[in-house]
Amino acid sequence: MPDKLSDIATEAVDSPAAALPAPPSRLALALNEAQEEARAALALADPVKAVHGVRKGFKRLRALLRLAGAARERAVAQRARASRRALAAIARHLAQARDTAAREDALDDLVAKADLSAAARRAASRAFAPAATPAADAGVGAHRAALEAEMARLAQALPRLGAALDDKALPAALTAGYARARRAGRAVDPQDDESLHELRKEIVAQRYQMELVIHAWPALGQMWVDQLQRLRDKLGKHHDLSVLRALAEAHPMRADGGPLWRAQLLAAIEARQEKLAHSALLLHARLFAEKPRAFRRRLSAYMSAVSERK
């Protein structure tokens, strides 16, 4: 037993330091943030805002779970895929409140960007107005129990899901998503609503996944994510107009071709969608100009530079 303070100090220096726990991966941190975002939205009183917030949180979670789905451990990969499917199914049940707001936004966009008359906009809004929704079914409503149950299951799985991908594996995983989004954009038919909608899904995933590497070069990383969001918004507006067009086409047409607002609306939708598809694909071509291998090298170089500085 040491009898001097100097001996104690020497022993303390010579003793092996206790291993510090590894910091959580960026995937783990992002999964926790996305889950908290969805939980916070559940508490909102406004049904439209609650649905929007939950769906946004779920989209982010599903994008991150796609990364976790590439885990080497089979059980973790299966859990990630099962969670993605469950979140997608619940989100579909929450569509009504969001769809009403999206329809009104689409009509406003046509007035601003496609010269739809205010009178035609009002007539279309009245024609497409949904029947009154019972208060119990508005917003999250009857789906709250299912939402909370799935969130609880996900919370239990988050530690393993977050550990599925360490930071060194991020460039390869992000490149896989980049390659999917690149292929989807190059194969898309601008006249085909469904292929544009599928492209939008890939862009949504890439947009949330790329947030994980903003730290490697904040100015460039944030700009990249912002441009992915712009592309997502263009494709989202195109999709909302497709839904609006289906409603207009299903609306009864009189023998004389009326109502007049119907023809005006369909013409405005066609013109606006053509512009949106064109500008979206131009932006896609810029964002996805690099081949996947070059994208991965560049991303790895940025992350290595940050790691070496540390």
Name residue, tokens 């991966």.
25
Q: Residue 262: how many CB atoms within 10 A of its CB?
A: 20
Answer yes or no: do 300 and 278 share one domain: yes
pLDDT tens-digit readout, 173-220: 999 999 999 999 999 999 999 999 999 999 999 999 999 999 999 999
- Residues 75, 42 share a domain: yes
pLDDT band at 101 (very low <50, low <70, confident <90, very high): confident
Q: Which of 33-37, 231-235, 241-245, 306-310 comes out lowest in average pLDDT? A: 306-310
Q: Is the pLDDT of residue 251 over 70?
A: yes
Specify if 151 maps to a domain.
Answer: yes
> Scanning the structure block, which residue is given the tokens 């001996």?
7
Three-point CA angle 59, 64, 69, nearest 5°: 120
Q: Is the pLDDT of residue 13 over 90?
A: no
pLDDT (mean) for 271-289: 98
Residues 85, 159, single domain; the answer is yes
Would the pLDDT of 130 be above 80?
no
Is 126 within the bounds of a domain? no
Tell me if 162 sits within 8 A of 32, measured CB to CB: yes
pLDDT for residue 8 is more than 70: no
Nearest to 242 by CA among 296, 193, 308, 305: 193
Share of the chain above pLDDT 70, in %: 88
Q: What tokens appear for 145 in the block?
A: 């129990």
Does residue 125 surpass a pLDDT of 70? yes
Number of independent structural domains in the chain: 2
Give the position of tokens 């220096």.
13
Handedness of CA 52, 55, 57, 59 (dihedral sign): negative
pLDDT over 70 (residue 240): yes
Which residues span the domain enclosing 210?
103-111+166-310
What mean pLDDT do residues 242-269 have?
92
Residues 87 and 159 in one domain: yes
Q: For the whole model, what pTM was predicted?
A: 0.88
Residues 208 and 154 in one domain: no
Residue 161 belongs to a domain: yes
Q: State yes or no: pLDDT of 18 exceeds 80.
A: no
State whether 62 and 148 are in the same domain.
yes
Same domain assignment for residues 177 and 78: no
Same domain for 254 and 173: yes
The H or E element spanning position 84 is helix 74-93
Are 175 and 295 a contacting pair, CB within 8 Å?
Answer: yes
Banded model confidence at residue 5, pLDDT cuts 50, 70, 90:
very low
Mean per-residue pLDDT over the chain, rounded: 89
